[in-house]
Amino acid sequence: MKIAIGSDHAGYELKEELVAYLSNKYTIYDKGTFSKDSADYPEFAHAVANSIENGEAEMGIVICGSANGVAITANKHANIRCAICWEAEIAQLARAHNNANIAALPSRFVSIQQAKDIIDVFLSTDFEGGRHQRRVSKIGIV
């Protein structure tokens, strides 16, 4: 699986940990930021969403302090369903029921181990389809 990941400065250390953790299992496209210097979260959320839209990656991970900014930004893209995931059960439901293709992590509210657990569940859960597909189909603006 190909995964795009990006964060602002608040999520930089968690992003680096996840890149190292996931690189053994997946192809990772690191979209930045590449330091703890202050950075604008929309740049990295857009880069991850664009990577999915253009087919470079299948799934994405975006990280900022609260996960709100990156989730709001990513969800501006058509066919992106970004879910804020602060625990594994939320990640499982986001995939199974909402067919989320980007997980947004709040770096100030999850530990490195929690983030690894959340992402493991997110990436290993399949979309259930069925009644959920009908609902997901209604998400886009017509």
Residues forming the active site: 64, 97
Does residue 11 contact residue 65 with C-beta atoms inside 8 Å? Answer: yes
- Give residues with Cβ within 8 angstroms of 85, minimum separation 6: 67, 91, 94, 103, 104, 105, 118, 122
* Token representation of residue 95: 């995939």
